[in-house]
Structure 1
Amino acid sequence: MRIIFYFLTACVVGSCSNKIGDEPLPSPDGRITVSVWLNASGQARYALLYQGKTLLDSSELGLKTTTADFTKDLKLVGKSPVEQVNEAYETVNAKRRHNRYRATRKTYRFRNAEGQGFDVVFQVSDDGVAFRYHFPYVEGDGIQVLDERTSFHFPPQAKGWLQPVAVAKSGWEQTNPSYEEHYEQGIPVGTPEPTGAGWVYPALFQIDSTWVLITEAGLDGRYCATRLRSESPEGEYRVGFPDDREVISENGLLPLSDVPFYSPWRVIAVGSLATIVESTLGLDVAESAIDIDKSAVKPGKSSWSWINSKDDYITYDEQRKYIDFAADMNWQYCLVDVNWDRKIGYDKIKELADYAGDKGVGLLLWYNSAGDWNTVKYSPKNKLLTPESRTVEFRRIKDMGIKGVKIDFFGGDGRSVIQYYIDILNDAAKHGLLVNFHGATLPRGWSRTYPHLMTVEAVRGFEMVTFGQEDADKQATLSTILPFTRNAFDPMDFTPMNLNKVYTPVQRRTTPAFELATSVLFLSGIQHYAESPEGMSTVPRSVKDLLRTLPDSWDDVRFVSGYPGRDVVIARQAGSRWYVAGINGEAALKQIAVDLQAFKGMKKAMLYTDDVAGEGFRQMEIPIASTPIELKPNGGFLMVLE
């Protein structure tokens, strides 16, 4: 009778061909359920339902390793009782300060005829599903994972908002992949990825009125970072491994361990667009924070000369000007970019650090990740490759008063590259240094585990707008996609907010109020602003005063409205105030209704939006009511409620 019961349960989620499994695992509120079973070939499968509707049907579980092929001829030999997960944690570089994660958990144990195999741990929360593989028995030379067969099988009507993986060793100085391609928008599932390299995380899908966001979290150095494969026949997307060239050491590509280990979590956020924007699932399942001096972990804002004046102006006088700029704006940091060691030198950097410190500004310094895989000529380089060299360099700059480092041009997702990131983070923590990774991978929940990881690029950010008109033309649309994808869980160094159009020969398409809105819309532990002192001098005093008092971290988030590629309005809370930011991703005039009465206790609303010509700002106090706000083509607004 028990086998018959399993059979009937499995029939709910797909074709009923000799399935043996278990009763569905529900979320705490019962709206999401996951079923796990074996098919007639002994393949481990799972399916995901939301409010009784199948979102992922008969998707595969399994791996091939140097020990055995665990993709067929398996048996479900055991399962744990259902457990309740209830965890609380705090972050200062994400969308919400105080977070609570509640989920139901169950472990399924799959083995082959020889007793070899793996466990799969599923956790189902009200906002999605996370699962990971566990290898409890590792002997001899250890286990290397050769292939992962995990899949996500969508129904045929599903559509995707997906970013291609750049081909390894392509691009400027062969620095790809760096998660900086343009998104494909609303494409049918099954559409092949054009480069053949795969799709990056987070990957967003729409199934009728429901949304699904797929990513991974919890990389610890034993596993490579993964992606979705380029081919998705009949809407079935599979986890893929990096290109063979995405390594920094011999045998450094594939997952490898000589002790029992877990894979990263496969994370599937499920619900409305509000669920996607407000969820912290990608952080919830990441490892808890390492032991670190919390007094050094200070989010904030930074001035930055390079975005406007590029390489030739990394000079002592120019950096002093940007220190003064940061001090005038009450911003905590100033970033000194490439070649500072050659154009300024360590001794003069120490002078700048002292000068900045007297003004309440901390200096951040750029580094080349370097190594023989990296042909980029910018320096300092080859300073961070070993524990010994990192200790020497980090101790030296910490003694100079430097607050953090920006490290660039990693170019890969292989296991050895992931381990390099983690080694840097651990050593930076020992010296109380903040970290910003550029030319980098998606951080995948690292900002929870390593609270001093303030931000990561992994986005086609504002610097690309300064390089070419095509990116400037696409900036508004891209910006409305990012809150639902790249910036959904992890901090993102887009380097936003250029309020004045004098920065480049490229014609910027967005309005000043659009740019102002991105200062709140985009999440980054340190927000590096793309504005110059000269540009800020043209901005009205009221806007400058607003930027002097913007919060450095957020207590809560609320989705107001939007659709990826069209427009988005998001509210963020800091203390007793709410900041509501909205942008228009299309070249058409729009009216967007914002119900201010939904923000309980607010008595005053100040609106900053575009002037009639769309070339400057308009500021006005508006009533606390359901308020229609006009959005100019590629325009925006920022509202402060108190």
Structure 2
Amino acid sequence: MKRILLILILFPVLAIAQQLQSPNGSFELQFQVENGVPTYQLDYNEETIVAKSSLGFELKDMESLLSGFTLKGEKTSSFDETWEPVWGEVGSIRNQYNELLVLLEQESTQRFLNIRFRLFDDGLGFRYEFPEQPNLSYFIISEEKTQFAMTGDHIAFWIPGDYDTQEYNYTTSKLSEVSSLMEQAITPNASQTPSSKTGVQTALMLKSNTGTYINLHEAALIEYAAMHLDVDASNFTLTSHLTPDAVGNKGYMQAPRNTPWRTIIASKNAGDILLSNITLNLNEPTTYEDTSWIKPVKYIGVWWEMITGKSSWAYTDIPSVKLGETDYSNTEPNGRHAANTEHVKSYIDFAAQHGFEQVLVEGWNQGWEDWFGKSKDYVFDFLTPYPDFDVIELREYAKSKNVKLMMHHETSGSVRNYERYMDKAYQFMVDNNYNSVKSGYVGDIIPRGEYHYGQWAVNHYLYAVKKAAAYKIMVNAHEAVRPTGLSRTYPNLIGNESARGTEYEAFGGNNPDHTTILPFTRLIGGPMDYTPGIFEPDVSKYNPQNNSWVNTTIARQLALYVTMYSPLQMAADLPETYNKHLDAFQFIKDVALDWEESLVLEAEPGDFITYARKEKGSNHWFVGRTNDEEPRTSKIAFDFLDKDKKYIATIYADAKDAHYKKNPKAYTIKKYRVSDSSKLSQYCAPGGGYAISIFEVTDNSQLKGVKRL
């Protein structure tokens, strides 16, 4: 017996892996507790895409939840449903997965931790679950230590980890090069706090040397801090890094509680990443019984003329104002204030003429003179208009034109102040026929020391969405935390910015490849209010003091309405500019907002993306192609069209001599008869692309004189 006992000590029984396969068998998960440490591994078509990676937490003033675990039980199950989003890229979504729930106990502390894995046919989602228990009730997370061990020095499409902003251009490099490129990747912003010298943000897009595309993100970010990833260049392992609060804590927890899901999407086809619905499927179903008031919106507004510096948000140029104390009736107007009654009426007229539902008006409320960078707490009340903005007159004028105004609430980062006025502000909207709001969080967060992506601010953003729903108001939040699929649960969250959008084209420019990367990164979590449609690339034409240049052709600006998915789309340029290009503007008028089907015809992150989308409730299709700085030829087939139908395709394309810097306004518009057997070979200029509207023909006379493609 002594000899046998000695052998058992020297050669302990190896941990047995718990295995799980996706419904079609393409993915396989292995989970095991190895020497007390929970680990997982993910294989895709027999290729390891995430090598053995550890899981757990560091806790404040408590023993960590990193080791000392034993497996106390496991449960497996399968799930398969089809659900219909209120709005979206497709009319219905299949939610099919196999699930493994592992029950762990840390024997030294008698604390329990569960990990739930859901394996889909396009990837993995997993989260931590803290069950109700006597030895772990209230606790503080110092750090989540989830690992994603990559199997090589993958190409990464990344922006710097930052607690306050995602408004960076993307860098394309190997994982091993992240730290050396970090300094040049961090460019100035109104509020920024880089997370670490090796930190990157999710959604992170990767490509292995075997040609496998891998995307890392999170889903259902609720009551928790947003996750970044720290890159270890020595072994290509990425480790979670949560956004802290003002005193450095990462999360305040009370069991029972679940974390957000950590997601891994993978495929040999880049387009499959774009079409994955894992992020939405890992969120809870819609919480509202009535969603009839939530509708996609196409809008215009005075925003771009202020972004370029042509006009001003502020009514006066006085250096200091105080909420409720400044008497604007005794101040001299600066003459550049865009949100005045007569000017807004002209935008309402343009919207009505061209079929736009809403007009966004920024700078309508008092307080803009010294809002930025002053760390003011009581900065706006979201109720009191400037003297030249007549709320009642504009409300009635908009009604007479069958147009709504879109509200704007810039908080200046003063979250506490926004919550003071929120109920009154939303009721003000209801009383004056506003049903959607663009909110903003420019600048450092107040209370001071909190961050845009910390647990406290994350809680606020969702609080604002829920509160808006009580008033049947849709929310488009700018500078808020990046989306994680919460629009499934709260579909009045109809848009977000949370990335470097079109406004930066007036602040020095976005890289030409920017819109070929964003769908693989930022849009994995939800739609973006990118505000496309800029037809005048020379910003100095609006403001001689601003020499910025929009790095795009007009044809690509049209394509963005298809490639940059959003149920909330702005025609961002000025009416007088659109009036010079009404032939191209027609595509913006025609393009749909809500889709029955979406296809990716071509895709390579950083190079190009070509989408085809079918409008919900019709047989109209729209195609969009966004191209990087290299000239390319796109080759697509129209085999997605119905076999027994006839169509006319209007192709808005770059001219042969088009170039995003040298000749951005050069475009062609041609019409062709097309069918499911048609094929297209289309030139795309540097920084260019193309857009196509495809309408079914029911009257053969419409085909007269139209050539076949």
TM-score range, shorter chain: 0.7 to 0.9
Which has the larger displacement, 88-97 or 143-152? 88-97
Partner of 2:359: 334
Deviation at 1:503, TM superposition (A): 4.5
Q: 1:417-469: CA deviations, max 9, x gaps?
A: 1111111111100001110111121021111111001110011111010121x
* Cα distance change, pair 201–74 in 1 and its aligned pair in 2 (3 A): same
Residue of structure 2 aligned with 1:384, choices 399, 413, 418: 418
Superposed displacement of residue 527, structure 1: 1.0
8 Å contact 2:142–2:249 — kept in the other structure? no
Q: 1:362 matched to which residue of 2? A: 404
Structure 1 runs not aligned, ≥5 long: 1-15, 169-176, 246-250, 375-380
Match of 1:486 among 512, 519, 522: 522
Tell me by how many angstroms 1:384 deviates: 2.5
Report which of the two structures shows the higher radius of gyration computed on alpha carbons.
2
User: What is the one-letter code of the residue matched to 1:26?
Assistant: Q
Is 2:619 aligned against 1:576? yes
Matched position secondary structure for 1:446: coil
In 2, distance between residues paired with 1:401 and 1:337?
A: 16
Between the aligned partners of 1:237 and 1:444, the Cα distance in structure 2 is 19
Change (3 A) 1:206 1:294: same
Matches within 5 A, 1:60-99: 60-66=54-60, 68-80=63-75, 82-99=76-93
Seen in structure 2, the aligned counterparts of structure 1 residues 90 and 357 have a Cα distance that, compared at 3 Å, is farther
Tell me what 1:191 maps to.
178
Matched-pair contact (CA < 8 Å) for 1:211–1:273: yes
Tell me the equivalent position of 2:458.
418
Report whether the alignment pairs 1:154 with 2:147: no
Asked whether the 8 Å contact 1:108–1:120 carries over to 2, the reply is yes
Cα displacement string for residues 346-381 of structure 1 (whole angstroms, at most 9, x for unaligned residues): 97123222221222222112113356xx4xxxxxx8
Match of 1:263 in 2: 259
1:276 matched to 2:273 = yes
Tell me, in whole angstroms, the C-alpha distance in 2 between the residues paired with 1:521 and 1:443: 18
Instruction: Return the match for 1:124 from 119, 126, 150.
Output: 119
Whole-Å separation in 2 of the counterparts to 1:179 and 1:159: 20
CA contact (8 A) 2:539 2:550 kept: no
Distance 2:463 2:535 in 1: 38
For 1:48 and 1:190, locate their aligned partners in 2 and report how far apart those are by CA, in whole Å: 25
The code of the aligned residue for 1:145 comes to I
CA contact (8 A) 2:271 2:603 kept: no
Q: Is the 8 A contact 1:435 1:453 kept in 2?
A: yes
The residue type equivalent to 2:410 in the other structure is N
Which residue, 92, 95, 119 being the options, matches 1:101?
A: 95
C-alpha separation between the residues in 2 aligned to 1:20 and 1:506? 60
CA offsets, 1:93-135, max 9 Å, x none? 4322311110001101111113212100000000110000000
1:612: Cα distance to partner? Answer: 4.0
Give the residue type in structure 1 aligned to 2:472: G
Q: CA deviation at 1:522?
A: 0.8
The answer as to whether partners of 2:158 and 2:205 remain within 8 angstroms in 1 is yes
Deviation of 1:339 after TM superposition, in Å, equals 4.7
SS in 2 for 1:555: strand
Shift of 1:230: 5.1
- d(CA) in 2 for partners of 1:635 and 1:152? 36
Tell me the equivalent position of 1:174. Answer: none
The separation in 1 between residues aligned to 2:482 and 2:139, in whole angstroms, is 26
Q: 1:17 Cα shift?
A: 10
Post-superposition offset of 1:610: 2.2
Aligned to 1:313: 338
Equivalent residue in structure 2 for 1:393, among 411, 419, 425 = 425
Work out the CA distance in 2 between the residues paired with 1:407 and 1:138: 40
**Which of 553, 575, 578 is equivalent to 1:511?**
553
User: 601, 626, 640: which one pairs with 1:560?
Assistant: 601
CA distances 1:568-595 after superposition (whole Å, capped 9, x unpaired): 1111111312211012111x33211111
Structure 2: which amino acid aligns with 1:215? Answer: H
Give the aligned residue type for 2:227. T
Going from structure 1 to structure 2, the CA distance change for 1:17 and 1:39 (only over 3 Å counts) comes to farther
Q: Secondary structure at the match of 2:169?
A: coil
Residue from 179, 194, 197 that aligns with 2:166? 179
- Whether contact under 8 Å (1:218, 1:445) holds in the other structure is yes
**Deviation of residue 241 (structure 1)?**
1.1
2:681 aligned residue (606, 628, 637): 628
Q: Secondary structure at the match of 1:234?
A: coil
CA deviation after TM superposition for structure 1 residue 206, in Å: 0.9
- Check whether the contact 2:453–2:481 (CA below 8 A) recurs between aligned residues: yes
Deviations 1:146-170 (A, max 9, x none): 221101000124221111124x5xx
Cα distance in 1 for residues equivalent to 2:690 and 2:300: 22
**Is the contact between residue 48 and residue 55 of structure 1 (CA under 8 Å) also seen in structure 2?**
yes
Say yes or no: does 1:214 pair with 2:216.
yes
User: Do 2:152 and 2:236's aligned partners in 1 also have CA atoms closer than 8 Å?
Assistant: yes
1:618 to 643, 668, 671: 668
Between the aligned residues of both structures, percent identity stands at 23
What residue identity is the alignment partner of 1:29? N
- Stretch moving more, 527-536 or 349-358: 349-358
How far apart, in 2, do the equivalents of 1:23 and 1:300 lie?
Answer: 47
Q: Does 2:611 match 1:609?
A: no
Indicate the larger mover: 607-616 or 400-409.
607-616
Matches within 5 A, 1:211-250: 211-221=213-223, 223-229=224-230, 231-245=232-246
CA apart distance, 1:564:
1.4
Q: Please give the alpha-carbon distance, in whole angstroms, between the structure 2 residues aligned to 1:230 and 1:243.
A: 18
Structure 1 residue matching 2:200: 3-state secondary structure: coil
User: CA 1:500/1:18 → structure 2, altered by over 3 Å: closer, same or farther?
Assistant: farther
Distance 1:191 1:544, change over 3 A: closer
* Separation (CA, whole Å) in 2 of partners of 1:354 and 1:159: 55
User: Are 1:637 and 2:686 counterparts?
Assistant: no
Q: Check conservation: 1:93, 1:299, Cα contact below 8 A.
A: yes
Assess if the C-alpha contact under 8 Å between 1:74 and 1:110 holds in 2. Answer: yes
**1:287-302 alignment to 2 at 5 Å?**
287-291=284-288, 293-302=290-299
**Partner residue of 1:324?**
349
**Corresponding position of 2:575:** 533
Report the secondary structure of 1:572's partner residue: strand
Q: Tell me how far apart the structure 2 counterparts of residues 211 and 397 of structure 1 sit (CA, whole Å).
A: 45
Residues 289-332 of structure 1, C-alpha deviations (whole Å, 9 max, x = no match)? 12254122011211021212343322222222222222222111
Question: Matched residues in 2 for 1:33 and 1:346: separation?
Answer: 64
| CA displacement at 1:393 relative to structure 2 | 1.8
Cα separation, 1, equivalents of 2:145 and 2:228: 12
* Contact 1:520–1:572 under 8 Å retained in 2: yes
The 1:359–1:421 alpha-carbon spacing in structure 2 relative to 1, beyond 3 Å, is same
Whether contact under 8 Å (2:153, 2:236) holds in the other structure is no
**For 1:458, what is the secondary structure of its paired residue?**
coil
How far does residue 141 in structure 1 lie from its aligned partner after superposition? 5.8
* Matched letter for residue 507 of structure 2: F
Q: Is the 1:253–1:415 contact (alpha carbons within 8 Å) kept by the matching residues of 2?
A: no
Paired position in structure 1 for 2:544 = none
Structure 2 distance, partners of 1:612, 1:425, is 46
Which digits, 9 at most, give the CA deviation of each residue in 1:194-233, with x for residues without a partner?
4553211100111222111111111222x11111125454
Shift of the 19–493 alpha-carbon distance from structure 1 to 2, 3 Å rule, reads farther
- 1:142 matched to 2:138? The reply is yes
- Tell me which moved more, 339-348 or 82-91: 339-348
Q: Name 1:547's counterpart in structure 2.
A: 588
